[in-house]
């Protein structure tokens, strides 16, 4: 029996009883493409067995590096974009909470503050980040397979210079941790020349699937989180989600149902939560789903909402807007903390009927009420419930969605493991910035901009 609970009872009005079984043959075929490597993008399936088949020596070095960072730094600056930061950021928020960086070192139990750079081209953000670091001791984890991606490369130049200015070249080199390609690329060349401690981004794991590689593991470990349990949760999920039977494999069932809904015109999926520290998990999920499925003029559009907050902004649209969306709620059965609602003598807000109840109880009733209202309003709702916010649960949840999107992509007849569309804007940006080799395109673009 799977560790997390998948509830699809609130799609029964939209998916007929026979439709899921009718998908079984297609799921079997998609499973063959995924497991046997007969589908498109087969070279990027190493994440499938990653939770058990990883470099144990490197894993030990990651834990040792995290300890060193905790001992000599107050802050770890993680430089990367897309999958090179979303997974780590979502995991740290999930495990450590929204205010982790505001806690004292004692409250963080020795974990360092982790901040992220190189995920935008905003000078204002970078300025504020430098102000946050101030005179604190810090280290840098640069994450880039090529070492030439614009956003992280600019940020690395700036923080490398700051390290050298503060510590000198020799000590600065000891505070730089590079996660990059094993053999080639600009960053690998620099690693070999300067002697930075380095970790490998596996060739067969795309960026959006890389959170359980050194890409995510070093920043997560630097906070003191138990990455052994993180991998254990993912490993157990990898064993639980191999049966192709849609009555037994919830990850495959989720993939099948979302494809049924998509073919009926439900083209937008909202990933929702009822805990603010899961916001970034939705951001990771959006890249996983959008970059995997949005191609060949096909694919479900991934969006997100944070409840109950967004019920006061998006709730009206979800309830009564275009009937082209469905919801996937990530629910935590037992959040780490609870607060009892107190009595108020005056009762001006009329809430004394809640006296003695817990906020978690109220949050649960909000979830139940929202599901019923949205369902009545014509919105299919699925729920993925995890028992708690532990490392084990997170690892399990990550794998659930990874294997689901692999199956879902093949069900829709696309390659779920490439991302050709993300290169289009880069070419235009390089041309407009005057990068050598883009002169002809620059001339064309400048003419278009002047129209």
List own/partner pairs for 194-197 with CB under 8 A and 24 or more apart.
197/61, 197/65
- Strand extents, DSSP E, 206-318: 268-273, 301-306
List own/partner pairs for 362-368 with CB under 8 A and 24 or more apart.
363/274, 363/308, 366/274, 366/307, 366/308, 366/311, 367/274, 367/307, 367/329, 367/331
Could you confirm whether 128 is annotated as catalytic? no
Q: How many residues belong to the chain?
A: 451
Could you confirm whether 346 is annotated as catalytic? no
Distance CA 448, CA 442 (A): 10
Are 284 and 84 within 8 A, CB to CB? no
Cβ neighbour number for residue 122 with a 10 Å cutoff: 11
Distance CA 64, CA 58 (A): 10
Q: Which of 190, 269, 272, 291 is catalytic?
A: 291
Closest to 78 in 3D by CA, of 40, 37, 114, 131 = 114
Q: Which of 105, 136, 169, 426 is catalytic?
A: 426
Distance CA 278, CA 262 (A): 25
For the CA atoms of 195, 201, 202, 204, what is the dihedral angle to 10 degrees?
Answer: -140
- Strand extents, DSSP E, 275-409: 301-306, 325-332, 381-386
Distance CA 14, CA 260 (A): 9
> Across the beta sheet with 113-117, what order do the strands follow?
113-117, 75-79, 138-143, 176-180, 197-200
- Determine the 3-state secondary structure of 181 from DSSP: coil
Report DSSP state, residue 42.
G
Q: Is the peptide bond before 344 cis (omega within 30 degrees of 0)?
A: no
Distance CA 403, CA 252 (A): 8
| Catalytic center residues | 291, 426
């Amino acid at each position: 029996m799977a560790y997390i609970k998948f509830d699809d009872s609130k799609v029964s009005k939209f998916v007929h009883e026979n439709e899921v079984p009718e998908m079984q043959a297609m799921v079997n075929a998609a499973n063959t493409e995924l497991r046997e490597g007969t589908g498109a993008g087969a070279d990027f399936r190493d994440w499938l067995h990653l939770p058990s088949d990883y470099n144990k020596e490197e894993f030990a070095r990651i834990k040792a590096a995290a300890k060193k960072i905790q001992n000599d730094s107050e802050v770890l600056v993680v430089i990367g974009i897309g999958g090179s930061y979303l997974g780590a950021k979502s995991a740290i928020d999930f495990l450590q909470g929204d205010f982790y960086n505001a806690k004292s070192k004692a409250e963080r139990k020795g974990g360092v503050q982790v901040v992220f750079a190189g995920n935008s081209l905003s000078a204002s953000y970078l300025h504020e980040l430098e102000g946050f670091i101030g005179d604190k001791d810090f280290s840098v984890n640069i994450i880039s397979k090529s070492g030439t991606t614009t956003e992280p490369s600019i940020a690395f130049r700036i923080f490398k210079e700051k390290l050298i200015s503060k510590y000198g070249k020799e000590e600065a080199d000891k505070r730089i941790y590079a996660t990059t390609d094993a053999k080639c690329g600009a960053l690998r060349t620099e690693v070999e020349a300067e002697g930075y401690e380095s970790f490998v981004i596996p060739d067969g794991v795309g960026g959006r699937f890389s959170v359980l590689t050194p890409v995510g593991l070093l920043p997560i470990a630097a906070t003191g989180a138990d990455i052994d349990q993180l991998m254990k949760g993912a490993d157990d999920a990898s064993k639980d989600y191999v049966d192709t039977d849609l009555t037994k494999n919830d990850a495959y069932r989720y993939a099948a149902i979302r494809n049924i809904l998509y073919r009926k015109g439900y083209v937008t999926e909202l990933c929702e939560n009822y805990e603010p520290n899961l916001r970034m998990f939705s951001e990771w999920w959006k890249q996983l789903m959008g970059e995997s499925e949005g191609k060949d003029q096909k694919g479900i559009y991934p969006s997100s909402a944070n409840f109950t907050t967004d019920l006061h902004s998006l709730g009206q649209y979800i309830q009564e807007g275009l009937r082209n969306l469905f919801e996937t709620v990530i629910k935590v059965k037992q959040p780490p903390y609870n607060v009892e609602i107190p009595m108020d003598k005056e009762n001006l807000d009329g809430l004394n009927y809640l006296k003695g109840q817990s906020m978690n109880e109220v949050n649960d009733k909000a979830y139940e009420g929202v599901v019923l209202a949205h369902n009545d309003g014509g919105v299919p709702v699925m729920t993925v419930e995890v028992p708690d916010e532990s490392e084990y649960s997170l690892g399990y949840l990550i794998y659930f969605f990874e294997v689901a999107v692999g199956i879902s992509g093949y069900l829709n007849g696309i390659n779920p493991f490439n991302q050709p569309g993300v290169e289009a804007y880069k070419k235009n940006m390089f041309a407009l910035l005057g990068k050598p080799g883009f002169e002809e395109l620059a001339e064309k673009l400048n003419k278009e901009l002047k129209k």
